[in-house]
Amino acid sequence: MAQHNCSATSLGLSNKKSYALLTAPGLCFLTISSFLLLSSPVAEAGLYSQTDQVVVLSSDGIDFQLFNSSNAWLVEFYASWCGHCQRFAPVWKALASDISEWKPAISLAAIDCADNKNRISCAHFEVNRYPTLKFFQAYSESGSKGEVLQDTSSSAPKLRQLIIDLLESHVEAWPPACPPLEPASAAELSDFFKTSSEQYLALVFEEASSYVGREVTMDLLQYEKIAVRRVLRSEEALVSKLGVAHFPSCYLHFPNGTFSRLSVHVEARSFYIYSLRMLPGVERGGYKPIMSLASERNTTADEWRQFDRSRVYMADLESSLYYSLRVEVGTHSTISGEPLSALKAYITVLVKYFPGRPVVMKLLHSLESWLKSHDDPELQYTALEMVLDNEVQTPDAALPDAWRWVSCQGSQPQFRGYPCSLWTLFHLLTVQAAHSTHTPVPDPLEVLQAMLGYIQHFFSCRECAAHFKSMAAETMSRVDSLPRSVLWLWSRHNIVNVRLAGAPSEDPKFPKVLWPPPDLCPQCHGELKGEHFWKMDRILEFLEDYFSPDRILQDYLEGEEELLTRQRAKLAARKEEAARVLVRKARGAEEAAGGQVTDVGRGEPEVGEGEEEGEEEGGEMGNQEEGGVQEETANHVPWENPELPRNHKPSIINMKQREMEEDIVDLDSFVDQHYKSKALLAHRSIQKREDKRRPLQIQPENSEAGDYGVVQSHRRKRGLGYVMAREVPLQKQHWLSMLSVGFSRLDISLCVLLYFLSSMCLLGMYLFLKMRLRMPRGKFALP
C-alpha cells in the first residue's frame, strides 16, 4: 500500500534516534514529493540481468532449455518483490560468478515468478514459496518438476559443495562435459597417458570429506592439455610412493612417468587453479557460455501513474485480488486441509466486507457459493480457475485478468506492488468489518484470522509469513473488539515497516516510516517531554475515514464492459479449443478401436465375407441399425478436412430439409454409439481373415439411392467409419451405357432437348433464306 510502505514501528519504540531518522520530514516527505515531479521511471525488471552469470529464464524458453539438455541446471524460482529473494540474490550472483567455469556441466538460472508472463510456468513447476531452488539433471525428460533443495540460507561455498553432490547424483545420464569426480586409483593413473593426449595430470591428494579436488576438477574442465583427478588419503601405495604428508596437496604427473609437486603459497583451491592455468601449453578451449533466450533486457513497459498519496485506489485493491487468487493460490495444484479452510475464510471475508464494483462482487459471490457446495476434501486449482474465469456463466461477473498498481507502484518493478496492495486490502477489510451492519455482530478476529490463514498457507515470501505468524501468536488473541482489530493490524504493520527499513526490499523513493506521517494526519501525533506518542483515538478516526468506501478512487480502472467482453472472448476461445480436443479424442478412439475411415486416394476399405452378418444380426444390434439410423445420422458431424480451416463446416449433399449441425457436439456419446455395433462385427470378422477379401460395393436399393442418409446406413451396417460426403461422391445410377460410358435419364433428356432445339434453329434459317431469294430485285437507271 502506497501509504503504509512509507510507515513503520511498534507502539513502544524506544530508539529515539532511529525514530527521528525515520520520521524526519526532510528525509522522507521531501524525497517523496520531489519524486512525484519526476518523469516516468524505466528500470530493469527482475533481480538479475544479462551481465550476471545467471541465465535469466522466461516462459518462452524455459522448457527448451531445461529439458533434454546436455548439462544440468540449478534454477532459482523467485519473486522480485520478495525481501528474502532480494537478500538471496547477491549470494546467487556470487555463486554463479564463482562457478562460471563449470557451465558446460551445470548452469545456474533464475526466473521471476512475479512477472505475469512467467506465472503459468512457475505454477507448472509447482512452486508456491520463494525463493525455491530446483535441480534438473542432464537430459531431464519433458514435464519433470525438478528436485527441490530445502536450504536457501547457505553461503556460496556451501552451495558450491551442494552442486558437487548433485552432479554426483547422476546415474544414467552423466553430463558429457563433466569430468570424472570419483577418486582415482593407482592402477587407473598408471594407464592414464596410454589413452590420453594431455600434457599434464594434476593429482589432488585429500581427505574423503574434502571438496577441493572436485572443485579444482570442475574449474579446469574448460582448459586443454591438462586433466585433474582427486586421490584419497586411503590410496596408501601412491601416497607412500610420492611421500605425501600434507592433505590437501597437488602433484603433477607427466607422460614420461615422473611426478612433481605443485608449488603454491597456500594449499587451497584458488591457488591451485591459478598455478595450473599458468602451466606452459595450458589454455582455454573453445567452449562458449550459454546465452539466455531473453537476449534483451526487460524494462517496465507501463507509464508512471500519477496518484494522490492520501487516497486509496480500487485498481490496487482489484490487482491484489487478481494476484492472490490467480498467482499465489494458483501455485497450488491441489488444495486440501487447512489451506482449503484458509481459502474459504479468505473468500468469505471478501464477500462480506470488500466494497468492490458490482461485476467483481458477483464473481466473488459465485466463487463463495461454489466453494461452499464443494464437499470433497481436495480441491483442484483447475476447477477453481474455471469459476474465476466465469465458466459457470454467472451474468455480468468478472475479475480483472492483470494487475495495475497505482498508489502501490514502485520506482522499480521489484519494489512495493503486491505486498503493498495486500496490506491495503486487509486494512480496508478490518475497517469495513468495524462498520458492518451484519447481524450478529462480526467476530473481532474474523478478518485477522482470515489474513493469518492466507499468509500462512499462500503468501509466497515464507520469511515474511513466518514473521507475521510470530506476531499473531504473541498478541492477536488479546483483540476483543472490532476497533481493536483495526488498531492491531495498524500497529503490526508499523512494526513490519520498522524491521524492513533499510532492507533491500525498501524502495529508496518511498522509504518506510511511521504511518500515518504528520502531513497526512497531524492530529495523530503528539509529543510529551521530548518523546513522541500516538493519539489512539485520532488514529482510529483517521483509519476509518481513510479506508471509507466513499473515498476510494476509481481512476485507472478498466471498464466493466471491457472486462466482460474480454472474458467472453476468452471463454469462446476455450470452447473452440475444447471442441478440437474432442475431435482429436474421437479420432484417437477410432484408431484404438481398429475402425477404418475412408481416405480419398486410397479407395474403399476392404472387408471379409462376414460383412453381411451385421444385417442379419438381431437383438440390440438390429434395433440400433433400424431404429437408430436417423438419430445417428442427425448427430453425425463429419471429420474435419485438414486442408480446410479448423472451423470450416462441410457441405451436406441432398440434405435440403436438414439444418446445419452445431460446431460443438458430444463426441464421447457419438463414439460410444458408433462403435457399439462395430465391436460385435469386428469380433466376427477376425475369425474369417483367411477368406479372400473383396472391395465393398454399395448397391442402392431403389432409384433414390443417391440419398446421403441411405448410403451412410449401408456403411454403418458394414462397420465402416463415417466419411465426408464431399470426399466420397455417391455413385450415380446409369440408365444407358454406350462405349463404356454411362448416361442417366437427365443426360439423355438434355441430349434430346439440344437436338430438337438445333433442328428448329436450322429449319428457321432455311425458311428465312428461301423467302429472301424469292423477293423481286429492283432496277436502277441513270437520269
Please report whether residue 290 resides in a domain. Answer: no
Q: HSE of 244 in the Cβ direction (CA atoms, 13 Å)?
A: 28
Residues 6+ apart with CB under 8 A from 696: 604, 605, 606, 607, 611, 718, 720
Please report whether residue 511 resides in a domain. Answer: yes
Q: Give the pLDDT score at 211.
A: 92
Indicate whether 645 and 610 sit together in one domain: yes
The domain tally of the chain equals 5
Residue 748 corresponds to which cell in the numbers above?
439423355
Residues 6+ apart with CB under 8 A from 159: 91, 95
Q: Cα separation of 700 and 243, whole Å?
A: 101
Q: Cα separation of 777 and 700, whole Å?
A: 68
Q: Rounded to whole angstroms, what are the CA distances from 567 to 355, 365, 383, 606?
A: 22, 17, 17, 49
Q: Which of 85, 408, 461, 464 is catalytic?
A: 85
85 is catalytic: yes
Please report whether residue 713 resides in a domain. Answer: yes
Indicate whether 249 and 364 sit together in one domain: no
3-state secondary structure of 465: helix
Indicate whether 504 and 462 sit together in one domain: yes
Q: Which residues pair with 223 in a beta bridge?
A: 284
Please report whether residue 237 resides in a domain. Answer: yes
DSSP state of 313: B
Q: Cα separation of 459 and 697, whole Å?
A: 69
Q: Give the pLDDT score at 485.
A: 94
**Contact 408/424 with Cβ under 8 angstroms?**
yes
Q: How does pLDDT run across 497-506, given as a tens digit for each residue?
A: 888 877 788 8
Look at residues 284, 318, 338 and tell me which one is the last residue of a structural domain. Answer: 284
Q: Which of 28, 82, 122, 178 is catalytic?
A: 82
Give the Cα-Cα-Cα angle 49, 85, 103 (nearest 5 degrees). Answer: 50
All residue ranges of the chain with pLDDT < 70 are: 1-45, 152-153, 286-302, 439, 529-531, 594-743, 776-783
Taking Cα atoms as reference points, which of 491, 302, 419 lies closest to residue 1? 419
Whole-prediction pTM: 0.58
Indicate whether 466 and 573 sit together in one domain: no
Indicate whether 547 and 571 sit together in one domain: no
3-state secondary structure of 9: coil
Please report whether residue 615 resides in a domain. Answer: yes
DSSP state of 481: S
Please report whether residue 409 resides in a domain. Answer: yes
Look at residues 228, 252, 284 and tell me which one is the last residue of a structural domain. Answer: 284
Length, in residues, of the chain:
783
3-state secondary structure of 686: helix
Indicate whether 629 and 708 sit together in one domain: yes
Indicate whether 163 and 190 sit together in one domain: no
Q: Cα separation of 609 and 692, whole Å?
A: 8
Residue 438 corresponds to which cell in the numbers above?
451484519
Residue 314 corresponds to which cell in the numbers above?
480500487
Residues 6+ apart with CB under 8 A from 677: 614, 621, 624, 625, 716, 719
CA 773 to chain centre: 93
Give the Cα-Cα-Cα angle 418, 424, 428 (nearest 5 degrees). Answer: 145
Specify burial of residue 68 (Cβ count, 10 A radius: 0-12, 13-18, 19+): middle
Q: Give the pLDDT score at 32.
A: 30
Indicate whether 427 and 313 sit together in one domain: yes
Look at residues 551, 583, 614 and tell me which one is the last residue of a structural domain. Answer: 551
461 is catalytic: no
Look-up of cell digits 466473488: 364
Please report whether residue 194 resides in a domain. Answer: yes
Q: Cα separation of 389 and 399, whole Å?
A: 8
Indicate whether 338 and 461 sit together in one domain: yes
**Contact 100/35 with Cβ under 8 angstroms?**
no
Residue 613 corresponds to which cell in the numbers above?
452378418
3-state secondary structure of 109: strand
Q: Cα separation of 463 and 576, whole Å?
A: 43
How far apart are the two ends of the chain, measured CA to CA in Å? 120
Indicate whether 498 and 578 sit together in one domain: no
Taking Cα atoms as reference points, which of 514, 307, 301, 300 lies closest to residue 407? 307
**Contact 294/56 with Cβ under 8 angstroms?**
yes
Residue 129 corresponds to which cell in the numbers above?
514459496
Taking Cα atoms as reference points, which of 89, 29, 181 lies closest to residue 513? 29
Q: Give the pLDDT score at 740.
A: 54
Specify burial of residue 361 (Cβ count, 10 A radius: 0-12, 13-18, 19+): middle
Q: Rounded to whole angstroms, what are the CA distances from 34 to 28, 163, 302, 384?
A: 10, 47, 21, 44
CA 151 to chain centre: 25
Q: Rounded to whole angstroms, what are the CA distances from 503 to 415, 437, 508?
A: 11, 41, 10
Q: 199 is in which domain, residue-wise?
A: 186-284
Indicate whether 379 and 442 sit together in one domain: yes
Look-up of cell digits 484417437: 588
**CATH code of the domain containing 129:** 3.40.30.10
Q: Cα separation of 304 and 201, whole Å?
A: 60
Indicate whether 404 and 277 sit together in one domain: no
Taking Cα atoms as reference points, which of 170, 86, 77 lies closest to residue 125? 77
Q: Cα separation of 324 and 321, whole Å?
A: 5
Taking Cα atoms as reference points, which of 141, 75, 69 lies closest to residue 105? 69
Taking residue 383's Cβ as centre, other Cβ atoms within 10 Å add up to 13
Kindly give the residue spans of alpha helices, DSSP state H, lying in 259-408. Answer: 269-277, 314-322, 337-353, 358-373, 381-388
For the CA atoms of the chain, what is the radius of gyration? 40
Q: Cα separation of 395 and 386, whole Å?
A: 15
Q: Give the pLDDT score at 705.
A: 42
Please report whether residue 417 resides in a domain. Answer: yes
DSSP string, 595-606: ----BTTTBPPE
